[in-house]
Amino acid sequence: MSELDAIDLAILKALQSNARMTNADLAAKVGLSASACSRRLDILEKSSVISGYHAHVSPKALDYKMIAIVHISLSGQFAKTLSEFEAAVKRCPNVLVCYLMSGEYDYILRVAARDLEDYERIHRDWLSALPHVVKINSSFALREVIDRPNVGL
């Protein structure tokens, strides 16, 4: 999809605030018929503008009381090195987010842990075992100030 018009943006904004609304409610909110809204939604989904619908679950509700921000340096930035690291990090269930970075570190991860002992296990069994890792620097979040699941529209 090359350009989003005002109606597309209205659909996206409405869904970001409540992705569970019915198509009829969405159509009314953006000023379309239900069938026109459904077609627009289908196009947004097929063109990957909408990449999915998710429940935003609080890690604390699942007894994950710690969030670690982990900086990773690799032995090099060859395509094979990066792809092997990325394939392995995707298998770690405690890694919530992983970004390939520019700058001092190659990757930054957000990792959920139940407590310090659990993070030690994650570090030992998962992070240290990731391929091509030469340096791990972990910081622990003291308090979450903001976690926006969506971009502003």
**pTM higher than 0.95 for the full model?**
no
What's residue 150's pLDDT?
79
Q: Is residue 63 part of a domain?
A: yes
Dihedral angle sign, alpha carbons of residues 108, 130, 83, 86: negative
The CATH number of the domain holding residue 88 is 3.30.70.920
Residues spanned by the domain of 95: 59-140
Q: What are phi and psi of 97, to 5 degrees?
A: -145, 145
Q: In this structure, are strands 95-100 and 133-140 parallel, antiparallel, or unpaired? A: unpaired
Residues of the chain with pLDDT under 70: 1-2
